[in-house]
C-alpha cells in the first residue's frame, strides 16, 4: 500500500478464483476491492476500522458508481487509488481510480458513506464526538464531476403485478455472508449480473454501474430480483419480505 497526502494506493493481485468468462475479474470482486481500498484510505486519515471499533462506530456505504473501460485480467496486479473528496452534512464522498499493470487508467468510481453506530446504525456526527479526529478532505476532485446519483426505486407493486415472477431469487446462505452476518453489499452487484445473465443479456457489454443500498439482508433471508430495461440502460431491483427495498442498480451497456 502506498500513501500520499492526496491519496492512498492499494495493489491488488487478480486470482483465477476471482475471474469469470474470458479470464476477467468479476465486477462484484472489483467493487469489493474498491471497498478494501476505501478502508485503507480511511485508516490513513485516522478513520480506520480498528480505531472506530473502539467506539462502536462503523462505516456504511450508501451509493457507488463504477465505470470501466476494461476489467483486470487473471495474473494481473492492478492499482486502486482513492481519496476522501467531500463532506456534505452526514455524507462522506470517496473517489477511486483504477490503473492497469501497465499504468493505464481503466476505471474510476465515486461513492457515498456515513459513519454510524455499530448497533443501531444511526448516523454519527463526527464533530459532535470529541473522541473522533476532525474529518479530512484530501482532494476535492470528483472523477465524474459530481457525487454519486440517487436512483429512483419503485415499490415492487409498481414494476410487477401480484402474478409476476422475479427474474431470479437469491438467498443469504453461508457463503454470501460477511463478518457482520449479513450479505456484503458487493454481492448485490454479483446478483444483478446473475439476473441479467439469466435474461440472456451479454454482461460483457456492461461498462457502467450505479448501485444504491437500502436495506441489509440477514442470514437466511430471501431476495427477489426484477428487471426493467430501457435501450442501453437496465435497472435491477431487489426486494425482501415482499416489498422491502434492498438495492437498486442501473447498468449501462456499451453501444455497438
Q: What is the CATH number of domain 2-128?
A: 3.10.129.10
Average pLDDT over every residue of 30-52: 96
**In the structure, what pLDDT confidence band is assigned to residue 2 with cuts at 50, 70 and 90?**
low
Closest by alpha carbon to 189, among 173, 202, 166, 170? 170
DSSP 49: H
The CATH architecture of the domain made up of 156-253 is Roll (3.10)
What percent of the chain clears pLDDT 70, i.e. is strictly above it?
97
Average pLDDT over every residue of 10-19: 97
DSSP 243: T
Fold: same for 2-128 and 156-253? yes
Cβ-Cβ contacts under 8 Å for 51 (sequence gap 6 or more)? 43
Note the pTM of the prediction, 2 decimals: 0.94
Closest by alpha carbon to 186, among 175, 196, 200, 197? 175
- CA atoms of 235 and 238, how far apart (whole Å): 10
Q: Check whether 162 has a pLDDT greater than 80.
A: no
The answer to whether the beta carbons of residues 108 and 98 sit under 8 Å apart is: yes
So what's the pLDDT on residue 181?
A: 85
Average pLDDT over every residue of 125-145: 94
- CA atoms of 5 and 209, how far apart (whole Å): 29
**In the structure, what pLDDT confidence band is assigned to residue 178 with cuts at 50, 70 and 90?**
confident
Domain boundaries, the chain: 2-128, 156-253
Amino acid at each position: 500500500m502506498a500513501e500520499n497526502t492526496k491519496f492512498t494506493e492499494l495493489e491488488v493481485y487478480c486470482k483465477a478464483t476471482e475471474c469469470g468468462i474470458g479470464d476477467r475479474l468479476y465486477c462484484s470482486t472489483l467493487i469489493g476491492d474498491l471497498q478494501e481500498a476505501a478502508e485503507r484510505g480511511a485508516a490513513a486519515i485516522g478513520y480506520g476500522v480498528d480505531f472506530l471499533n473502539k467506539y462502536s462506530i462503523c462505516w456504511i456505504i450508501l451509493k457507488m458508481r463504477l465505470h470501466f473501460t476494461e476489467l483486470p485480467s487473471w495474473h494481473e496486479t492492478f492499482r486502486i487509488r482513492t481519496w476522501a473528496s467531500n463532506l456534505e452534512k452526514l455524507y462522506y464522498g470517496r473517489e477511486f481510480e483504477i490503473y492497469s499493470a501497465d499504468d493505464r487508467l481503466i476505471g474510476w468510481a465515486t461513492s457515498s458513506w456515513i459513519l454510524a453506530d455499530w448497533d443501531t446504525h444511526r448516523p454519527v456526527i463526527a464533530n459532535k464526538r470529541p473522541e473522533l479526529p476532525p474529518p479530512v478532505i484530501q482532494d476535492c476532485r470528483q472523477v465524474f464531476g459530481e457525487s454519486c446519483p440517487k436512483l429512483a426505486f419503485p415499490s415492487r407493486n409498481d414494476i410487477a403485478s401480484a402474478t409476476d415472477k422475479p427474474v431470479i431469487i437469491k438467498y443469504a446462505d453461508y457463503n454470501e455472508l460477511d463478518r457482520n452476518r449479513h450479505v456484503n453489499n458487493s454481492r448485490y452487484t454479483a446478483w444483478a449480473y446473475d439476473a441479467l445473465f439469466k435474461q440472456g443479456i451479454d454482461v460483457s457489454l456492461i461498462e457502467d454501474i450505479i448501485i444504491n443500498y437500502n436495506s441489509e439482508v440477514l442470514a437466511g433471508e430471501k431476495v427477489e430480483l426484477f428487471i426493467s430495461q430501457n435501450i442501453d440502460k437496465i435497472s435491477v431491483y431487489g426486494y425482501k419480505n415482499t416489498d422491502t427495498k434492498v438495492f437498486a442498480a442501473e447498468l449501462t451497456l456499451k453501444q455497438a
